[in-house]
DNA sequence: CAGAAAATGGGTTGTCGAATCCAGAATTGG
DNA sequence: CCAATTCTGGATTCGACAACCCATTTTCTG
């Protein structure tokens, strides 16, 4: 829908589509690795292996490219996690998701933080349109987490409000990632997620007795 | 100590000190309201009511000014919260702290996020020196939270690891603030803090029985 | 297999902002 | 109170980067 950041004509040949995708992917990587302002259009040009006015052939301006990157990262995050997110309807599934998140950060040496959250923080107060795009990405992510908890709740395995818990889990993840990124250690992420998941477990019938 | 971002001579007259302070305060406000890159040195100049090469008289470059702003915001956050942070050695004190944080965000209409966290996210991957400055600010903040929990633990009122809990509280706060900022609603902050504090309470002897 | 439309390359322009210089005013210390 | 030092103002340079233009090549369509 609002993906129509394209310049005017909607006609894109196969080659054009591929070039556009390469530009977005390169821009996403550079923005992830150094922030939005750090990613020069010339850097993007080079990294994508395109030259000259290519970028302006596919995007009206840097803002349009940024919006495309936000959507791209949202898709990437959700696609990558989908197999795990589908399993979030049990304590074991939640714990496994936690482990993967932590392990991934360790692998990345805590660099980059959250692809969506980092972008969001940078645009929040200076770019309303981009802020809304990030907000909508977060809503989708939150919904994916909520689905599992709602299922548990419906099966009578979980007390408490699934909506609130989903939001709290996402918040813990974001806060944990931010602190991990800044301090360059995974511990903040570990304890942040462990505390929320412990709390979720304490609200299950299994966890009730054995804390 | 590392506050010596000053240019060369350490001699500052009373008037000079005041001017410098005005510059840092203005820069902090602008960076908070629109991000670091958005805050032009010319904007700072205007907002601080100084003119010409004033800024370069007090700071070597924008980087030095940024470091001064990070320390300024750390002090501001800790000073402002000190009365509350001193009371974090009881569930009631923790809840009150939570209420103040939430109320403040509501007052700000969820704009700005965390003065330290926002800066941190923006510099994390592009400015190692600034990242370390933010990291050290977070450590001080974390220590202040930890103090109360450690006291509870020492009095035998709290089971579990006070260090981990302090970190988890800070992470929940940061994640809640980020989501609140991006979605422009306080709920993420509320539920994030409530979940961690509920968990802390469940680890106290008072909370043990009554969930 | 043309003709049209889209894609590509590279060069160019204009603006904005960081950084620097120097001359004149205020402040401080002896 | 006066000389040294610090502070202030405005003008200016310099580089970087976003944005635009046009000529050429490639790809699609009928």
A121/B118 Cβ within 8 A? yes
3-state secondary structure string, chain A?
CCCCCCCCCCCCCHHHHHHHHHHHHHHHHHHHHHCCCCCCHHHHHHHHCCCCCHHHHHCCCHHHHHHHHHHHHHHHHHHHHHHHHCCCCCHHHHHHHHHHHHHHHHHCCCCCCCHHHHHHHHHCCCCHHHHHHHHHHHHHHHHHHHHHHHHHHHCCCECCCHHHHHHHHHHHHHHHHHHHHHHCCCHHHHHHHHHHHHHHHHCEHHHHHHC
Report which DSSP code applies to B115. H
pLDDT band at B11 (very low <50, low <70, confident <90, very high): low
The minimum CA-CA distance between B44 and chain A, rounded to whole Å, is 16
Cα distances from B103 to residues A49, A51, A120, B87, in angstroms, run: 50, 51, 23, 18
The minimum CA-CA distance between B20 and chain A, rounded to whole Å, is 26
Percent of chain B with pLDDT over 90: 85
Checking if the pLDDT of A208 tops 90, the result is no
Q: What is the pLDDT of residue A4?
A: 41
**Coil, strand, or helix at residue B35?**
coil
Instruction: Answer whether A177's CB lies under 8 Å from A130's CB.
Output: no
Asked whether residue A95's C-beta has any atom of DNA/RNA strand D within 7 A, the reply is no
Average pLDDT over residues A26-38: 97
- Measured in angstroms, what separates residue B53's CA from nucleotide D12's C1'? 12
Checking if the pLDDT of B210 tops 50, the result is no
Q: What is the pLDDT of residue A53?
A: 87
Which chain A residue has the Cα nearest residue B168? A192
pLDDT band at A17 (very low <50, low <70, confident <90, very high): confident
In the numeric block, which tokens belong to residue A190? 């570990």
Specify the higher pLDDT residue, B19 or B161: B161
Average pLDDT over residues A108-134: 98
Report which DSSP code applies to B158. B
Average pLDDT over residues B144-153: 97
> Which residues of chain B lie closer than 8 angstroms to A33, CB-CB?
125
Q: Name the range with the highest mean pLDDT among A196-200, B12-16, B56-60.
A: A196-200
Report which DSSP code applies to B184. T
Q: What is the pLDDT of residue A202?
A: 95
Nearest-CB residue to B124 (from A173, A175, A182): A182
The minimum CA-CA distance between B63 and chain A, rounded to whole Å, is 15
Average pLDDT over residues A129-149: 98
Checking if the pLDDT of B7 tops 80, the result is no
* B110-134: pLDDT as tens digits: 999 999 999 999 999 999 999 999 9
The minimum CA-CA distance between B164 and chain A, rounded to whole Å, is 6
Q: Which nucleotides of C are covered by protein (CB under 7 A)?
A: 5-11, 16-22, 26-28
The minimum CA-CA distance between B119 and chain A, rounded to whole Å, is 9
* A39-58: pLDDT as tens digits: 999 999 999 999 888 999 99
Q: Which nucleotides of D are covered by protein (CB under 7 A)?
A: 5-11, 16-22, 26-28
Closest CA to A200 of A43, A95, A78, A54: A95
Amino acid whose CA is nearest the C1' of C10: A52
Chain A with chain B: Cβ pairs closer than 8 A: 173
Percent of chain A with pLDDT over 90: 87
Percent of chain B with pLDDT over 70: 91
Average pLDDT over residues A115-137: 98
Average pLDDT over residues A161-177: 98
pLDDT band at B5 (very low <50, low <70, confident <90, very high): very low
Whether the CA torsion A113, B174, A78, A90 is positive or negative: it is positive
Cβ-7 Å neighbors of strand C: A 9, 11-13, 15-17, 19, 50-54, 57; B 13-15, 40-42, 52-53, 56, 61-63
Which chain A residue has the Cα nearest residue B126? A34
**Coil, strand, or helix at residue B204?**
strand
Nearest-CB residue to B121 (from A113, A126, A189): A113
Nearest-CB residue to B167 (from A168, A191, A199): A191
Which chain B residue has the Cα nearest residue A38? B126
User: Which of A2-16, A60-74, B162-176 is predicted least confidently?
Assistant: A2-16
Write phi, then psi, for B90 (nearest 5 degrees).
Answer: -155, 155
Chain-wide mean pLDDT for chain B? Answer: 92
pLDDT band at A110 (very low <50, low <70, confident <90, very high): very high
The radius of gyration of chain A's CA atoms, rounded to the nearest angstrom, is 19
A191/B179 Cβ within 8 A? no
Nearest-CB residue to B37 (from A37, A189, A202): A37
Closest CA to B43 of B32, B54, B27, B58: B27
Nearest-CB residue to B182 (from A135, A184, A188): A135
The radius of gyration of chain B's CA atoms, rounded to the nearest angstrom, is 19
B194/A171 Cβ within 8 A? no
Which chain A residue has the Cα nearest residue B179? A171
Write phi, then psi, for A129 (nearest 5 degrees).
Answer: -65, -45
Q: Which residue, among B102, B126, B175, B189, would best test binding to A if mutated, counting the most A CBs under 10 Å from its CB?
A: B175
Checking if the pLDDT of A87 tops 70, the result is yes
- Measured in angstroms, what separates residue B38's CA from nucleotide C24's C1'? 33
CA-CA-CA-CA dihedral for B197, B148, B106, B118, to nearest 10: -100
Distance, in Å, from the CA atom of A175 to the CA atom of A181, rounded to the nearest integer, reads: 10
- Cα–chain-centroid distance for residue A103? 16
pLDDT band at A173 (very low <50, low <70, confident <90, very high): very high
pLDDT band at A210 (very low <50, low <70, confident <90, very high): very low
* B89-104: pLDDT as tens digits: 999 999 999 999 999 9
A191/B171 Cβ within 8 A? yes
């Amino acid at each position: 829908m609002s993906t129509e950041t394209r310049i005017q004509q909607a006609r894109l040949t196969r080659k054009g589509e591929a070039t556009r995708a390469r530009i977005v992917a390169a821009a996403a990587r550079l923005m992830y690795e150094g922030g939005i302002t750090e990613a020069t259009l010339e850097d993007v040009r080079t990294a994508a292996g395109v030259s000259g006015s290519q970028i302006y052939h596919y995007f009206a301006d840097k803002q349009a490219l940024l919006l495309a990157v936000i959507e791209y990262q949202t898709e990437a995050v959700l696609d990558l996690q989908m197999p795990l997110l589908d399993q979030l309807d049990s304590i074991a599934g939640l714990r496994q998701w936690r482990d993967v998140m932590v392990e991934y950060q360790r692998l990345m040496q805590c660099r980059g933080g959250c692809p969506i959250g980092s972008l969001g923080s940078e645009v929040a107060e200076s770019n309303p349109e981009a802020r809304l795009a990030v907000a909508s990405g977060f809503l989708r992510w939150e919904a994916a987490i909520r689905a599992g908890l709602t299922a548990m709740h419906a099966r009578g395995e979980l007390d408490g409000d699934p909506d609130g818990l989903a939001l709290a889990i996402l918040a813990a993840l974001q806060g944990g990632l931010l602190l991990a990124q800044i301090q360059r250690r995974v511990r903040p992420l570990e304890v942040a997620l462990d505390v929320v998941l412990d709390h979720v477990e304490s609200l299950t019938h299994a966890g009730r007795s054995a804390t």
